[in-house]
Amino acid sequence: MPQIPMAAEPILAIKNMSITFTSPDEADVEAVRQVDLTLTAGKTLALVGESGCGKSVTARAILRLLDKSALLPSGEILFNHGQGTVDIARLKPDSLAMRSIRGAEISMIFQEPMTSLSPVHTIGDQIDEVIVLHEGVSPKKARERTVHLLDQVGISGARERANAYPFELSGGLRQRAMIAMALACTPKLLIADEPTTALDVTTQAQILDLLRQLQDDFGMAMLFITHDLGVVAEIADEVAVMYLGDVVEQGDVYEVFRSPQHPYTQALMNSVPHLRRKADRQRLSPIKGTVPSPKDRPAGCAFTSRCPYVFEPCAGTRPAPTEVGAGHLARCHLLARTKMEALA
């Protein structure tokens, strides 16, 4: 990937963001807790973790697509759209300002295109609508742009495919159509929510190559959500590891993969199968236990109930981020104690 000069300011900066779901019958549930993330033009940040750890909720908060029961009690989502910086967390989901950003400057590839695309409208009509809405061009010009986009994402016979309904396309073609829709207005930030999970490995490789090429062409920032560490190693520049709504480790992808510091990141890495010589074969090392419900979140470290290194401070207080390398942070009491002992 070519080197792109660092922007004076990041495209998006999430600062101390929490997300809480309310219910009239039960206690409030904190799904995301004090998250800090930064996205830069031309770079990809991968957000990884087990299912239910808050990855998709974090992404949807950026576009204000959360359920009405979701609240953002604290934090900022600062988006730099060239004409200044706006705090998305303070915008109403249905406001004109938010609708002018959503789909135009920040777009999202959803996890399952079959349920995200309208089954009663053609692919072309759905992409046309985005272009007409945000760019105000005529339907004829919008259709020409749509055909060009479909061709750009590798759909052969683009003009004919534009008249197809989602159920008439394969999973790979639907995903490409979803990517074309997300790129229709050349966004500054693209959010890809597990865009390759339901695809076979060959189509997955093609989609990843396509996303890298399109990022090179447009110079956009990308937030890539996945639980596949192999995909992270292939596409990301930086990685943030989430567990139970907490970002427990983040940093340069090569540094985090070379030297994972948080026990949860280490456990994730150890649970990945490796090709070994027959004499060196070992059983997989799964993470013991299950992710607790957000309703039963530990008072201290989120990983307390499954961590093999737990000691007294872990259950009582939430650990602060400890710098373990240049731009490499991890939330762990053990790391903090080790660092203090080294400095003593």
Q: Smallest Cα–Cα separation from 229: which of 193, 282, 270, 281?
A: 270
| Whether residues 290 and 230 fall in one domain | no
Res 241: pLDDT: 96
CATH number at residue 50: 3.40.50.300
Is residue 62 domain-shared with residue 172, that is, in the same domain?
yes
Range of the domain at 219: 12-236
pLDDT of amino acid 4: 40
pLDDT of residue 89: 93
Same domain membership, residue 330 and residue 229: no
Work out the number of other CB atoms within 10 angstroms of the CB of residue 55.
24
Residue 5 covered by a domain: no
Q: Are residues 302 and 268 in the same domain?
A: yes
Residue 187: inside a domain, yes or no? yes
In a domain, 320, yes or no: yes
Within a domain: 255: no
* Contact (CB, 8 A) for 170 and 127: no
165 with 303, same domain? no
Residues 270 and 221 in one domain: no
209 within domain boundaries = yes
Residue 5 is predicted with a pLDDT of 40
Residue 244: inside a domain: no
Place of tokens 């239910």: 52
pLDDT at 128: 95
pLDDT, averaged in runs of 10, over the chain (344 residues): 49 94 85 93 93 91 92 93 88 92 92 86 95 92 94 90 94 88 91 81 82 86 90 92 94 93 91 63 77 84 90 88 91 84 62
Q: How many domains does the chain have?
A: 2
Q: Are residues 299 and 229 in the same domain?
A: no
For 144, the enclosing helix (H) or strand (E) is: helix 139-152
Q: Is residue 243 part of a domain?
A: no
Predicted local confidence at residue 295, as pLDDT: 83
Which is nearest to 177 in space by CA: 234, 224, 130? 130
- pTM, two decimals, is 0.89
Q: Are residues 64 and 126 in the same domain?
A: yes
140 assigned to some structural domain: yes
| Maximum separation of any 2 CA atoms in the chain, in Å | 71
CB 239 within 8 A of CB 229: no
What's the confidence (pLDDT) of residue 6? 43
106 with 39, same domain: the answer is yes
